[in-house]
Amino acid sequence: MSCAPERFAVYFVPPAETALAAFGKAWFGAPHATAQRRAMADRLGLAESVLAAITGAPRRYGFHATLKAPFRLRAACEPSALARATRRLAAATPRLAGPPLRPALIGGFVALVPSAPCPALDRLADSCLTALDRFRAPLTSAEWRKRGPADLSAVERRHLRRWGYPYVRDRFRFHMTLTGRLDRRLAERIRAALGADCLPYDGAPLAVDGFTLVRQSEPGAMFESFGGFPLRTL
């Protein structure tokens, strides 16, 4: 029996009116942000074509932080039921303020990460992981192999088997991916150059005020919003 091609995930996506969202649009080359993208490439000392190439892989997922990694729905589970459960979870979850973001290198790619530990962000991701897992279909053999379990630690393999993704719970790290995997020298150059561009966020907390449920219609397609759900105001 064939598997449903579509996948769902839960993201934090910065609100459209924020400086963080504007940065993401310029970085990934959103429509109407061509001048900002050109300026970004100039600051990095890169051709626009090079910036487009190194951001190609994460562009498919959009500018976000993953709270529950992409998964297929279980048989007989409807997307509308997942959306309702995500809405209920959001309504029961208080908004939070995390540390300012800073550029960092993670596994060969450049990302924005919290500038200090934030257990509240870890708990937020863990609540999405556990509360919505009843909707997730088990990994197929092909999906298991694609994750490269031989390269994972024993703990990460256990997470992969239990949760369908290795980097959860004690292995979770809140991050907003900016590039694909890069040569170390180029990655470090971009990380250092991004420091100036991230200055507007220094000293300002990361405001997490909602969940975005996203859907990928088929392998290789862009992830698109399936619903945005505000967190509870304290």
For residues 44 and 187, is the Cβ–Cβ distance under 8 A?
no
User: For position 199, what pLDDT does the model report?
Assistant: 61
Q: Tokens for 123? A: 């708990």
Q: Which is more confident, 195 or 82? A: 82
The predicted structure's pLDDT at residue 44: 85
The whole-number pLDDT of residue 107 equals: 87
Measured CA to CA in angstroms, residue 233 lies from 10, 27, 138 at distances of: 20, 30, 34
pLDDT-derived band at 2 (thresholds 50, 70, 90) equals very low
Q: Set out the domains of the chain in order of their start, with CATH numbers.
A: 7-215 (3.90.1140.10)
With H, G, I as helix, E, B as strand and everything else as coil, classify residue 22: helix
The percentage of residues in the chain with a pLDDT greater than 90, rounded to a whole number, is: 71
- Would you state the pLDDT for residue 121? 97
What pLDDT digit, counting tens, does each position of 119-160 carry?
A: 999 999 999 999 999 999 999 999 999 988 899 999 999 999
Q: What is the Cα gyration radius of the chain?
A: 18
For the residues 40-52, what does the mean pLDDT come to?
88
Q: Give 214-226 pLDDT, tens digit per residue.
A: 999 998 899 999 9
Question: At 231, is the secondary structure helix, strand, or coil?
Answer: coil
Confidence of residue 35 (pLDDT cuts 50, 70, 90): confident
The answer to whether residue 103 scores a pLDDT higher than 90 is yes
pLDDT reading at 78 higher than 60: yes
Say whether pLDDT at 1 is over 50: no
Q: b or e along 143-175 (b: 16 or more beta carbons within 10 Å of the residue's beta carbon)?
A: eeeebeeeebeeebbebbeebbbbbbeeebebb
Q: Is the pLDDT of residue 88 over 80?
A: yes
Instruction: Determine phi and psi for 16, rounding to 5 degrees.
Output: -60, -30
What number is the average pLDDT over the span 152-173? 96
pLDDT greater than 80 at residue 100: yes
pTM of the predicted protein model:
0.92
